Structures are given as structure tokens and as C-alpha cells.
Amino acid sequence: MIERTENSCETREDDTSAANDWVPSRPMWEARMSATYFLKLPSAEAAARCGARRDALASWHGQFSCSGFAWVEPPVLNAYTRLAVTMSPARGVLRAVGYEMTDAGLPSQVSEICEVVAACSGAAYCRAPPELS
């Protein structure tokens, strides 16, 4: 995980999930919060909500490569979720899926999983994962 500011960056090799907050916290940088909570929650509570998402991802024991997007569930899945992505730079694989708000109260998956695999030539192509083929 590489976190960047305008003038610097920090690389982390543990706690590598992104959850809209800085790890560790930094002065003058606050966790993102939805419009529902903006000006209603203290920044510490917004950071705690981001921490809950980070903890949920860290405690998920499935395999990101084989399980599709089963890990996209509350608190990771929230009213503002529109895209979920998994990447494996070592294998040259990127998977993405789209979400939209429905009557269920939380977004639902609305697209097939798009898998982009880097070919040996450096080109990439999109294909449906084996379970959808």
C-alpha cells in the first residue's frame, strides 16, 4: 500500500487494505466520511468507521482470487459502495465489479466481474471469470 500526500509518500507492507483513512493517522488529514455524517460525527468516529472496514477486510479468511467478491459485505459494503477491485500485480490480474443502490437499503452487484489479465506482450484483455463462462 502506498499512501501519498502532495509532497511525500509512505509505503506499508502490512495492513494493506484501503479504507479511506490514513494509517497511522496524521495531523491535518482526516478520514473520509459520507455526506450523511458530515458535520455530525467527530473525526475520531469517522476514523473508527474506517478502522472497522479495515478490520473486516483483515479478518476475512477467504481467498480473494477464488471467492469473487464475497468479502464485499458490511461494513465494507456501505451506501456509497460503487466499485470493488482486487489486484495481484505479481500475477498481472485485476478484477472489478460494479454496485448500485437498490431498494435493499445497500448497493447490490449490478455488473459481471471483469477480469483483466496482463498478457506476456504487456497487453491486457478482459474476460469473464471461469464461473461465468
* Per-residue pLDDT at 129: 45
H-run or E-run covering 117: strand 114-118
State the pLDDT at residue 59. Answer: 83
pLDDT number for residue 93: 87
- pTM of the entire predicted model: 0.67
Characterize 105-115 residue by residue with b for buried, 16 or more Cβ atoms within 10 angstroms of its Cβ, and e for exposed.
Answer: eebebeeebeb
pLDDT by 10-residue block (mean), the chain, 133 residues: 72 65 64 66 75 81 75 88 87 91 89 84 50 45
97 neighbors 111 (Cβ within 8 angstroms): yes
Q: Would you state the pLDDT for residue 52?
A: 82
**Residue 1's pLDDT is what?**
65
